[in-house]
Amino acid sequence: MPRSGEGKDRDVRRPPARGDLSAAVVSALERPPGTVRLPDARTAAAADPYGDDLHLALALCYELHYRGFDAVPDTWEWDPELLRFRASLEKGFLDALRADLPRPGEVTELLDGLLVEPADGTGVSYFLRDEGELWHLREYAAQRSLYHLKEADPHLWVVPRLWGQAKAGMMAVEYDEFGAGRAERVHARLFADLLADLGLDPDYGHYLGACSRQMLAVNNLMSLFGLHRAHRGALVGHFAWVEVTSSPGSRRLAQALERLDAGPAAVHFYAEHVEADAVHEQLVRHQVVRGLLREEPALAPDVAFGIAATDLLEERLGGHLLDAWQAGRTSLFAPL
């Protein structure tokens, strides 16, 4: 399979709708901006805030800020009607998260808790390492491709909203994520190679229509935080969760891929993250988070919310994957 994955000429194809909200967006994007009326806030508020329909609709709105869709004008990105509709979807999602996390906790305690590795872990990376089959790894990679083919892109939105130590630390981590000046080492490029080793399509956005609602929610969260300056603290919290938890999980995933002879590029992606993210964890904790809270201490609750919301959605994703696989069924919305 060709190792593509990054070309701008490979715009994302719009996936089939999963309900009235996503159908409205799919239909709107077939017409010129400024000619469509989308569902009102009351309709959006009635939707399941964690459901397939709302999260596919949000994902469609957010993708316009990344690479866009095939045959959809770039000017849709800032269409006022679409932004109004997107805001109503975001409100439902955020309100649900805040209701589920009324007291997220203190930043330091949350981060310290993420560093504790259970003696007998039962999460997805443990399952894949110890008993996962190749089809489990292929599904996992397809789900994660929604983020990893644009790895670190959503976090760049926070950079102009930081300064001093927090900005310097953030850019040190991002420089690594984008290959330290070498295109072949960009982490999104490495993940495209992983997909090819697993016999999957490495093109950007190819599996958008296949991803579960739980994966869509994880992916949408970082775009929501990134696109709003008001949520800069939450995005830093999200980023901290990712970097603190990445190294041990990546080690187990590399071991799973080695056990199943998945291929050198597949193993390399996660092996690369074991060492790199151990360093990143220190940078994020001591420079980015600490630097931000030194400059803007009032953002501590937002940072905590970002950590807790990410943890909640990742837990739900993990539970969904394990429930499906242990029952012998696919975790995907649509088959590979």
Give DSSP secondary structure letters for 25-91. Answer: HHHHTTS-TTS--PPPHHHHHTS-TTSHHHHHHHHHHHHTTTT-BTT--GGGGG-HHHHHHHHHHHH
Q: Where in the chain is the domain with CATH 1.20.910.10?
A: 107-326
Pick the CATH number of 107-326 from 1.20.120.1200, 1.20.910.10, 1.10.150.170, 1.10.760.10: 1.20.910.10
Nearest to 148 by CA among 205, 196, 226, 200: 205
Residues linked to residue 12 through DSSP beta bridges, in sequence order = 69
Tell me which residues of the chain have a pLDDT lower than 70. 1-11, 277
Dihedral angle sign, alpha carbons of residues 228, 233, 237, 242: positive
The angle formed by the CA atoms of residues 263, 136 and 238, to the nearest 5 degrees, is 90
How far from chain centre, in Å, is Cα 309? 12
**For residue range 214-242, what is the model confidence (pLDDT) as tens digits?**
999 999 999 999 999 999 999 999 999 99
Which letter does DSSP use for residue 332 in this model? Answer: S
**For residue range 117-174, what is the model confidence (pLDDT) as tens digits?**
877 888 999 999 999 999 999 999 999 999 999 999 999 999 999 999 999 999 999 9
**For residue range 71-80, what is the model confidence (pLDDT) as tens digits?**
999 999 999 9
Long-range contacts of 249-255 (CB under 8 A, 24+ apart): 249/123, 249/125, 250/274, 250/277, 252/125, 252/126, 252/128, 252/129, 253/125, 253/128, 253/129, 255/129
What percentage of the chain reaches a pLDDT higher than 70? 96
Q: Could you give the 3-state DSSP secondary structure of residue 18? A: coil
Q: How far apart are CA 307 and CA 114, in angstroms?
A: 10
The H or E element spanning position 324 is: helix 300-326
143 touches 212 (CB < 8 A) = yes
Radius of gyration of the chain (CA): 19
61 touches 25 (CB < 8 A) = yes
